[in-house]
Each structure stands twice: as C-alpha cells, then as structure tokens.
Amino acid sequence: MLAEVLRRLLATIPVMGVVALAVFALLHVTPGDPAVIIAGDYATTDDIARIRTRLGLDQPFHTQVAIWLGRVVRGDLGTSIFSGLPVSTLIGQRAATTIWLTLFAMLISVGVGVPIGVVAAWRKGSWLDRAVMVFAVSGFSMPTFWLGFILVYVFAITAGWLPVQGYAPLAGGVGSFLSHLILPALTLSVVYMALIARMTRASMLGVLDEDYIRTAFAKGLAPSGVLVRHALKNASLPIVTIIGIGFALLIGGAVVTESVFALPGLGRLTVDAIVRRDYPVIQGVLLVVSGAYVMINLIVDVLYVVLDPRIRY
C-alpha cells in the first residue's frame, strides 16, 4: 500500500508537468498582452516593446517555458507583473480563505447530503423520498450567485444575524470567523449537497435489496445500525468518489461565491489575474490548484482500499 502511495506521488510529477505546459500554452494563445496593460495610455510602441523585453515576453515560447519551469523546480512561482509581490505570497494570503470555505462547504454537503440520501433510499417512494428528490433537483437548478444574494437578503440584510460580506481570520475569534463563513459555505454547499444526496440514494438503493441487508433486518438489528454499518459502508465507494470530485469542483465553484461575498480567496485571485493577464499569478495558482486536485484523487484512491479491503492496486 505504502509503495503504491509513493508510486502515485511520483506519478503526480509528470501530471503536474503536463498541466504546467498546458496552462502556459493556453495563456500564450489567449488574446491580451500584460505589457500593453502595464504600459498604460501614454505608452509609445517603444515603451511597450521595452516592457515586453523586461518581462521576458519577447523570448520564444520554449525559452519562456524553460525559464518558468526552472524557477518552479526551485520552488519559485515568480512575481506578479502588476503588484510586484511574489506569487507564493499572494497565494499564501488567499489560500486560508478558500481552504476554510471549501472545508465548511464540504462539511455541510456531506453532513446533510449523506443522511438525507440514506433516508430517501430507506423510505423509497414515500413523501420523504420525494421531498429529498425535489430538494436535490432544486439544489442543482439554483444558480450559486442567485442563492447567495437570497441568503444575504434574508439572513444579513433583513434579519441582521450575519454579515453581508468579508472574511474574518480564525485568529480574530471563532465567533466572527464562523459568522463570516456560514452564508458563503451554505451557498456553495447546496449544489453539492444535492449531488451527494442523489448519489447516496442511488447507491443505497443498489445495496438495500441485497440478501445480507435482509438478513440483518431479520436478525432484529435496529434500522439505524443496518443502514449505517451494513448498507452505507457497502454503498460508500461511489459516495466517496463523488465527494472527491466535489472537493475538486468546490475549489472551482468558489470563484462565484468569493465574488458574491467579497471573500479574498484563490478563486478571485485567479479571475483578477486572468482579467489583467498577470501570467505568473495565473500559472502559479493553476499549478497549486491542479496539485490539490491530484492529491485529492490520491486520497480518494487510498480511501477505496480502507473502505473495501478487496481492492488491490
């Protein structure tokens, strides 16, 4: 098992290399030129050319790639063309917000999505099942920004219980930290809650008809024990898979939520950098995020083995 984990960790290196090359290539075929943006309104063609030279943008593509990769290998993600701050500093300033937002959103998604999915499967065809499915379809259908504004209107503006926007670091107090995170995390979680509920229900339905479940009920075990210990455990592989995918999607989905709630996270950092064509920042963030995706996939694969010892790599 350990050898497999190590092998997979090593395998992430070429994956990251391909990601890095793809990101670099995509950026260079995208219209826009940071040198022109930096040069401003008064710049002459010579000014722009001088800035391009200083940024190394006049070098051939392969030279630019080689220089960038050389730095990345040394742990240097470069410097923002605009603010002059190291990309690692910018990511460091933003990572905590996105990590906490994603974790809370996933906690809510799993904490609500799995139980209601289990109950819906257990009470298949009942009003409870239908209610869960209505919620799941609605959850998929609601645009995140719309839901965000509705929650802000109800809980922040009308009731005044929670703040409208912003992020408060944990160091500033648990109460403030949580109050700033509840609405964005709830907004972000609804679609994944719906996804997990549907997947849990479908997966549980496939297990609940099995003989061993009937036997468990026949032995007189409590329904909760049968559902959780016997059914859910055996139905968990697809659920874990969808949670893993959900984590990856949450990082991307955080862009909209971060904008609606003015949270200084990685999503907004990426969007702002794309708008300005701040190449080092875009490349740095995408590299870090793709690294996170690869790690999440690895964790999911390890969990498969833990949940189902029959699985061997």
Q: Which residues bind another protein (CB under 8 A)?
A: 31-33, 36-45, 47-48, 50-51, 54, 80, 82-85, 90, 93-94, 149, 152-153, 156-157, 160, 163-166, 259-262, 264, 268-269, 272, 275-277
Report the b/e string of 231-262 with b at 16+ CB within 10 A: bbebbbbebbbbbbbbbbbbbebbbbbbbbbe
As measured in angstroms, the least distance from the Cβ of 310 to another protein is 48
Q: How many helices (H) and strands (E) does the chain have?
A: 13, 0
As measured in angstroms, the least distance from the Cβ of 148 to another protein is 9
As measured in angstroms, the least distance from the Cβ of 80 to another protein is 7
Evaluate whether 262 touches 214 at the Cβ level (below 8 Å).
no
Tokens of 124: 């298949």
As measured in angstroms, the least distance from the Cβ of 252 to another protein is 17
Tokens of 108: 């809510």
- Rounded CA-CA distance 285/88 in Å is 9
Residue 66 or 275: the one with the smaller Cβ distance to another protein is: 275
- Rounded CA-CA distance 248/296 in Å is 8
As measured in angstroms, the least distance from the Cβ of 108 to another protein is 21
- Can you list the positions of beta strands (E) in the chain? none
Residue 197 or 266: the one with the smaller Cβ distance to another protein is: 266
**Phi–psi pair at 86, nearest 5 degrees:** -60, 140
CA separation, residue 67 to residues 21, 59, 61, 64 (Å): 12, 10, 10, 5
Residue 82 or 217: the one with the smaller Cβ distance to another protein is: 82
As measured in angstroms, the least distance from the Cβ of 259 to another protein is 5
Tokens of 18: 């391909």
- Rounded CA-CA distance 36/34 in Å is 5
